[in-house]
Structure 1
Amino acid sequence: MSQAPLVLVDGSSYLYRAFHALPPLTTSKGLPTGAVKGVLNMLKSLRKQYPDSPFAVVFDAKGGTFRDDMYAEYKANRPSMPDDMRLQIEPLHQSVIALGFPLLCVEGVEADDVIGTLARSSAAADRPVVISTGDKDMAQLVDGHITLVNTMTGSALDVEGVKEKFGVAPEQIIDYLALMGDSSDNIPGVPGIGPKTASGLLVGVNGGLKELYEQLDIVPTLPIRGAKNLPAKLEEHKEMAFLSYQLATIKIDVPLDVGLDDLHLIEPDREKLLELYTLLEFKSWYDEVQRDTKRVELKASTEAAPVAAVAEAVVVAPVEAVYTTILDQATFDVWLKKLDAATLIAFDTETTGIDAHQAQLVGVSFAVQPHEAAYVPLAHSYIGVPQQLDRDSVLLALKPLLEDPNKLKVGQHAKFDMNILANCAIGGDPAHGITVRGIAFDTMLESYVLNSTATRHDMDSLAKKYLDYDTVSFQDIAGKGAKQLTFDQIPLEQAGPYAAEDADVTLRLHQALHARLAAIPSLASVLTDIEMPLVPVLARIERQGALVDAQLLGVQSIELGNKMVELERQAFEIAGEAFNLGSPKQLGAILYEKLGLPVLKKTGKGQASTAEEVLAKLAEDDYPLPKVLMQYRSMSKLKSTYTDRLPEQINPRTGRIHTSYHQAVAATGRLSSSDPNLQNIPVRTAEGRRIRQAFVAPKGYKLLAADYSQIELRIMAHLSKDEGLMNAFRHNLDVHTATAAEVFKVELGAVTSDQRRSAKAINFGLIYGMGAQKLGKDIGVDTKTAKAYIDVYFARYPGVREYMERTRAQAADQGYVETFFGRRLYLPDINSNKPQERAAAERTAINAPMQGTAADIIKKAMVRVDNWLTDSGLDAKVILQVHDELVLEVREDLVAQVGEKIREHMSAAAQLDVPLLVEVGVGDNWDEAH
């Protein structure tokens, strides 16, 4: 039987990664616990995976190490440990020990050195070793006996895995790190040498740093970009390279007070675990330990005296919430005083529906401290409902508080509540509502900024995730389906606690989320400087709405219907028979059985797929029926989503379309919209442009469209610092023409429209991670030619390639990428052992900073424009935001003035190394203006 491996856990690495990558948790008293839970989960998983193994969990000790003496700047660029992480170290250490794991902290060295010493000692004794870490430095330890596993991602690295991942053997990893450096530890390396260049050099000289410096004369002959300039660069930074080698080398001879025989697991200290889990509020784990304790005690008591009583463990009682339904003036007055004295008010509205522009207000709820909240019902209308306070009197009493910008408030999806209150029509006057001001926080946005992909951002999901609390769902009190009640029909006995809980949970969520955000200043800035100022701006845009020509849409709908009939006829002709174009079964039979088209993908049930992406791929390969089907589906979607639906969505009170904008949906920070979704109206097709023609200006006004030009390429230029790309934008060159001139080796003035179109596909394709095969299909050349074009592109813009390599490596190392403003996008699959998942995450890593930065810039621009319009008092309003474009409704005589100021404010929304160009158009409809 093979020997169970020694398992060495890099506790410091996992603490850091769990803190930054996993959803934050806090106790009811505000103690952060998310990283503790993440690391303990990982340890529990390892213990199950290696039940017979000796273990050591190793943490960095306090104070400096020998590397600080060697290089004063070592790790100097690391920010100080966040307080929320520091607070979790001691309870984590205590929990690890209480669970029965040996825990090691050795002064003067790092956890890596302790692990390296134990690993090599065990390997020398022919015992296998598993090192659980997320640190790439550890790859230098891998050999026939030692394997790395990343328990958080499920990936593993043996000798071949190291070679595949880094391009060098484990024994070259130190040399590899010495050349490229390590920004996380401030190991300097050789400036300008990235992962690909470092591995290329080491493979080229078939050795390490010493052999490289002995063979500098052969470096120019190696197949490495910029190889001719490398010898001088290497010679200049030789001393720093060898210092970096020393800094990156893990010690394997640390004197230790423990040996391999001391590293055995012991029985958990259940009493200590109960104490810790009570402090940390890990209820499910507390219950688990309690059950284990009872089993042990029962067994012992049964053996000693079968009739002896078993002592019950102490159960920590949950905090009892106090919720009040306000039906009398005296109680309302008490709460008014509480609200007036509060430093922060959590509030929520209850309504008859989810359309903020048509739903009616039913009641309002408030909380000013955790576990205490009140609901004021205003319009419940079921038979037997108790007398409620006068709606208008309550709203007039609340109006000064809600409109006071200095009275800070927090909501969950507060934009909805703002619009409801703005439309509440006090006294029956539609123009007389409440303009809520002072929205300082929104828990939906706090969660979204903290980690856009960790969870859904609705209240029920957030409460479960961050408070370990199950809220009462709307379906619990209203029912489901056709018989579901509207909120005004729900009895106050149920409605009151439900509504009060919403305000209470909002306040508690804010306390849990805000502390974690405050520990990461860049994320706190994204919330306070971008997302929160945008909330009232979006609320105003939604209330303003857009005017549409329902008659024109009706004409377009008929035309689309006629085109669909013609396309259906063509499909029948190609198929040789009539069939239902909407039936996957019939369509599959025609495509694959009758016409014999290749099966590209199968459904979960093993049937040949007729999904849109499959048809699109077949259409690309020039199969006629899929081409017709794609056109048919496109027409059908436009008809059902826009030309048929938009007239039905015109608000009868305002005569306008009121879309809803969503800040917390797209992972990259992009805004999305719904009811209707205006982001997906195609701009490149005649049919899509005709739909835009139906968005019109009222008499005496014009539509003004302001659009950022090539913003993602400009952001790429800024992020990559590529001189060629930056110069093209700085000198106002057409970047697609400039790229075409380089790729096709012609003068700027000789670039044809086809060459420019191909260069455009290259420019945008590469930043979206497109490969040579897909690019070749897009521009009509073979894969080899497309690969040659890509090579020329990277030779012309080497900074772009370096940015891509640097970003992939950084994403793999830290698990996320950032925008220019500090927004993070977490990439859970970046270190996946599945190549497809990992490749997709790497493509996202490269593109997300550009998409996310573009999203941040348009958001900042919207706030600037809104502030200017408010201050100027000019008759102009933003009515739409789509991707990188703002659409305004402007009085005719103000068009030139407004256009110039909009261009000015949008251009100044971010200070990049290249100018932001804003194109402004004007017309009687959206298509003309764009």
Structure 2
Amino acid sequence: TDYPGSKVIVVFDAKGKNFRHEIYPDYKANRPPMPDDLRSQIAPIHEIIEAMGLPLLIIPDVEADDVIGALAHQATQKKIDVVISTGDKDMAQLVTEHVTLINTMTDTKMDIQGVEDKFGVRPDQIIDYLALVGDSVDNIPGVPKCGPKTAVKWLTAYGSMQGVIDSADEVKGKVGENLRDSLSFLPMSYELATIKTEIDLPEALEDISHKETDHRRLLALFSEYEFRSWVTAQERALNSAGDDAEQAEEPVVEHNCDYQTILDKDAFALWFNKLKSADLFAFDTETTSLNYMEAEVVGVSFACNAEEAAYVPFCHDYLDAPEQLDKDWVLDQLKPLLESSEQLKVGQNLKYDKSVLANHGIELQGIAHDTMIESYVLNSTGSRHDMDTLAEKYLGRKTIHFEDIAGKGAKQLTFNQIALEQAGPYAAEDAEITLALHHAIYPQLEKIEGLAKVYHEIDKPLLSILSKIERTGAVVDAHILGQQSQELAERIVELEREAYDLAGEEFNLSSPKQLQAIFFEKLGLPIIKKTPKGQPSTAEPVLQELALDYPLPKLILEHRSLAKLKSTYTDKLPQLINPGTGRIHTSYHQAVTATGRLSSSDPNLQNIPIRSTEGRKIRQAFVAPDGYKLIAADYSQIELRIM
């Protein structure tokens, strides 16, 4: 969905050996065999890919890397842009002005500059870099003691591996001796690390095409493997002729909408009268912060008819910003309208707008609908429930994203700093899209009696309750947390001393590298699992297994647990107490979990441990104000359990 209209090709490794094994019989000799539970998944994945209509390439005696390299090379020759989805560092050698990498596990992209930032060398030097450093996972030999920093230093000085070889006599010290001892095999390492781009493919790039999706086959496969939400999606696809939801998922289309930016009282009066006479109108606030306790309203947008909306700015204060209506005057005019329970409103995530308006003395009433909640109740796992995603899914429309007008990262503008030429259409679109989404989603919800009941009687009313709970906040005794933090600090120091005694030396208990040396080299503990780079793992599941038989891993687990409690809760929670209310104000999310449970963030108050004594103590810091008592109420639902 991120690259609509693009050709997608899926490549897998073929079974057996390839030309690299002929060059070096020990190639990948250190790799453990594929786990049986993973091996059994390969064939079903192939079936699903083919049923989706995606081209699947598996070429005998050729690694997937080389197939991808050949495809990228063909595309580059035709000046076609290529995105390779991979987390493999070897692929960095393929990056050009037309080829970028994306790691979907970390959601990061890597272009030419990205390669230089990550590795310290250009893409055309990656093969040299890999040959010098070696690869323990693929068992490609490198220069002993030549790490990434040394390789970058040499390639910066000598340009290429051949340049390093030619200048080997100039390199001093032990690493220089290692380099000279490695000269005989470095050309082989270079060849092993090189992705071949000139291999013969069964079809030319332009002849590789998508086939029509076999929805019936996908339905059978998804049913067999109990992918329930995907089963639902395929059932809808097969019934698309009479299914409004699927009919809505059409190609993105252009819309010519009338978006107005209101800068004078006459124009405001026209829109105000439209809103008063509307049976239902959509509205949205633009603010200075996502923190509802701190956010100030910068402007408001409205829509009461299709493809028509307006934005009323009053706090844009960038240089040369045009004169705007007075903020207090606008809010005074809108207050009776927004507080009227008879004047019906629809919004997207109105819990936030309700809280922000409360900062300005406005108690939002008349909440008839919330499109985020409508989408969530209709299909909690069908997609994300943000406005941009829903607009594309139900309306076939691409929206203006906040980053498009505000930028990203540290230089991102707050909304009051954005020019009205960009802010106006963005804000007006929010209201107009929200109204359109309601008209697209709500009729589907009404058709399903049980879901409509859940929406009207549970989830929609909960919106206002959660807003009140959030704004009320939780009373936290910072003194209790301070005492607990001190106790944790003392226990952590005790654990460190005990660890030093067990290890026979001082070391950093938080360093995986030092733990590896102590556990597996000095103490000779059994290696349970290895990291992707071939190093002994010290991850928590490994420590838990080792802790059954050895005291030091058990102690390290306790140290990690207490250090996390201290940094995440006893130290951090007091910093989150709002100076104005003296309480902590979290955000509760209705439209996240598949089961209907709430989640929370900033801070996450639902993740405080309860199984350990120390974790339970932290809950003691949440106290009732004088004259009140705490009660517990579980907002949940019946859930299927696997016994």
Pair in the same fold by TM > 0.5: yes
The alpha carbon displacement at 1:46 in A equals 6.1
1:153 aligns with 2:221: yes
- Give the aligned partner of residue 659 of structure 1: 586
Structure 2 gap ranges (5+) = 1-47, 57-213, 226-240, 242-246
The Cα shift of 1:48 comes to: 7.6
Letter in 2 for 1:702: Y
| Corresponding residue for residue 631 of structure 2 | 705
Larger radius of gyration: 1
Find the counterpart in structure 1 of residue 198 from structure 2. Answer: none
1:418 CA displacement: 0.3
**Distance change >3 Å, CA 633–CA 280, structure 1 → 2:** closer
Is the contact made by 2:303 and 2:309 (CA closer than 8 Å) also made in structure 1?
yes
CA distance in 2 between partners of 1:564 and 1:388 (Å): 57
Q: 1:815-853 CA distances to partner (integer Å, 9 max, x unpaired)?
A: xxxx65xxxxxxxxxxxxxxxxxxxxxxx84359xxxxx
Residue 375 in structure 1 maps to residue 311 in structure 2: yes
In structure 1, C-alpha distance between the alignment counterparts of 2:223 and 2:629, rounded to whole Å: 54
Q: Output aligned runs, 1:395-410, within 5 Å.
A: 395-410=331-346
**Distance of 2:427 and 2:295 partners within structure 1:** 17
- 2:605 equivalent to 1:678: yes
Paired with 1:466 and 1:404, the residues of 2 have a C-alpha distance of 30
1:748-787 aligned at under 5 Å gives the runs none
Find the aligned partners of 1:610 and 1:445 in 2 and give their Cα distance.
Answer: 42
The structural deviation recorded for 1:380 is 1.3
SS in 1 for 2:544: helix
**Per-residue Cα deviation, 1:632-685 (whole angstroms, up to 9, x for no partner):** 122122111211111111112112111111111222111111122111222343
Shift of 1:389: 0.7
Give the percent of matched residue pairs that are identical in Structure 1 and Structure 2.
58
Matched, 1:846 2:631: no
- Note closer, same or farther for the CA distance 1:689–1:593 as it changes in structure 2 (3 Å cut): same
Q: Give the aligned CA root-mean-square deviation in angstroms.
A: 3.1
Structure 2 counterpart of 1:380, which letter? H
Unaligned ranges ≥5, structure 1: 1-40, 50-131, 135-148, 158-272, 274-278, 285-316, 425-432, 713-818, 821-843, 849-930
1:283 to 238, 251, 260: 251
Match of 2:568 in 1: 641
C-alpha distance 47-350 of structure 1, shift in aligned 2 (>3 A) = closer
1:393 corresponds, among 324, 329, 333, to 329
Instruction: Answer yes or no: is the 8 Å Cα contact 1:600–1:614 preserved in 2.
Output: yes
Find the aligned partners of 1:601 and 1:372 in 2 and give their Cα distance.
Answer: 60
Counterpart of 2:554 in structure 1 is 627
Match for residue 337 of structure 1? 273
Q: Given the alignment of the two structures, is residue 492 of structure 1 paired with residue 420 of structure 2, yes or no? A: yes
TM-score by length of 2: 0.60
Distance 1:445 1:602, change over 3 A: farther
Matching of residue 525 in structure 1 with residue 456 in structure 2: no
How many residues are treated as equivalent by the alignment?
Answer: 420
Within a 5 Å distance, the mapping from 1:590-605 to structure 2 comes to 590-605=518-533
1:95-119 Cα offsets, whole Å, 9 max, x none, are: xxxxxxxxxxxxxxxxxxxxxxxxx
1: CA distance between counterparts of 2:429 and 2:477? 43
In the alignment, residue 674 of structure 1 is paired with which amino acid? S
The AA in structure 1 aligned to 2:460 is M
Query: SS state of the match for residue 435, structure 1?
Result: coil
The Cα of 1:599 is off from its aligned counterpart by 4.3
Q: For 1:820-899, what aligned pairs fall within 5 Å after superposition?
A: 845-846=640-641
Q: Which one of 614, 617, 630 corresponds to residue 687 of structure 1?
A: 614
Partners of 1:640 and 1:581 lie apart in 2 by 16
Q: Would the aligned equivalents of 2:624 and 2:630 in 1 still touch at CA under 8 Å?
A: no
The Cα of 1:150 is off from its aligned counterpart by: 4.4
Partner Cα separation in structure 2 for residue 630 and residue 703 of structure 1: 36
Partner Cα distance (1:502, 1:648) in 2: 34
Q: 2:253 matched to 1:325?
A: no
Aligned with 2:622: secondary structure? coil
1:577 equivalent in structure 2: 505
2 CA distance for matches of 1:133 and 1:490?
Answer: 45
Deviation at 1:397, TM superposition (A): 1.2
Query: Structure 1's 532 and 596: CA in aligned 2 closer, same or farther, altered over 3 A?
Result: farther
For residue 589 of structure 1, report the CA deviation from its aligned partner. 3.6
SS at match of 1:846: coil
Q: 1:594 to 1:342 in 2, by over 3 A?
A: farther
- For residue 365 of structure 2, what is the aligned residue in structure 1? 437
In 2, the alpha carbon distance for the partners of 1:502 and 1:608 equals 51
Partner of 1:615: 543
Secondary structure, aligned partner of 1:436: coil
Shift of 1:586: 2.7
Contact 1:150 1:156 in 2 (8 A): no
Once the two structures are TM-superposed, the CA of residue 580 in structure 1 deviates from its matched residue by 2.4
2:263–2:313 CA contact under 8 A, matched in 1: yes
Deviation string, structure 1 residues 743-780 (Cα, Å, up to 9, x no partner): xxxxxxxxxxxxxxxxxxxxxxxxxxxxxxxxxxxxxx
Query: Which amino acid in the other structure matches residue 508 of structure 1?
Result: A
Deviations 1:500-554 (A, max 9, x none): 1111121222222212222222222221111100000010111111222222322
Amino acid at match of 2:632: A
* Aligned-partner residue type, residue 631 of structure 2: A
AA at the equivalent of 2:260: T
With normalisation by structure 1, the TM-score equals 0.42
1:140-179 correspondence to structure 2 within 5 Å? 149-151=217-219, 153=221
What displacement does 1:596 show? 4.1
Relative to structure 1, is the Cα distance of residues 370 and 153 closer, same or farther in structure 2, using a 3 angstrom cutoff? farther
Q: Taking structure 1 as reference, are residues 688 and 846 closer, same or farther at Cα in structure 2, changes over 3 Å only?
A: closer
Name the amino acid aligned to 1:663. Answer: Q
The CA deviation at 1:605 is 3.8
Map of 1:101-250 to 2, 5 A cutoff?
149-151=217-219, 153=221
Write the letter of the residue equivalent to 2:250: F
Distance 1:588 1:523 in 2: 53
Residue aligned with 2:363, SS = coil
1-side partners of 2:54 and 2:576: how far apart? 57
Report the equivalent of 1:857: none
- Residue 588 (structure 1) aligns with: 516
* Residues 51 and 218, structure 2, Cα contact 8 Å, conserved in 1: no
Q: Report the alpha carbon displacement of residue 42 of structure 1 after superposing the two structures with TM.
A: 11
Distance in 2, matches of 1:643 and 1:598, equals 35
Contact 1:42 1:151 in 2 (8 A): no
With over 3 angstroms needed to count, the CA separation of the structure-2 counterparts of 1:626 and 1:458, relative to structure 1, is: farther
* Aligned-partner Cα distance in 1 for 2:364–2:592: 24
Distance 2:348 2:628 in 1: 36
Q: 1:600, CA displacement in angstroms? A: 4.3
Residues 623 and 630, structure 2, Cα contact 8 Å, conserved in 1: no
Please list the CA deviations of residues 254-274 of structure 1 after superposition, one character each: whole Å capped at 9, or x if unmatched: xxxxxxxxxxxxxxxxxxx9x
For residues 448 and 616 of structure 1, do their structure 2 counterparts lie closer, same or farther at Cα, with a shift above 3 Å needed? Answer: farther
Matched AA of 1:648: Q
How far does residue 707 in structure 1 lie from its aligned partner after superposition? Answer: 5.1
Partner of 2:482: 554
For 1:566, the equivalent position in structure 2 comes to 494
Distance 1:597 1:443, change over 3 A: farther
**Counterpart residue identity of residue 685, structure 1:** S
Q: Quick one: distance in 2 between partners of 1:47 and 1:475?
A: 32
Name which of 452, 458, 463 aligns with 2:386: 458
Deviations 1:716-737 (A, max 9, x none): xxxxxxxxxxxxxxxxxxxxxx
Cα distance in 1 between the residues matched to 2:362 and 2:314: 15
- Give the match's secondary structure for 2:290: coil
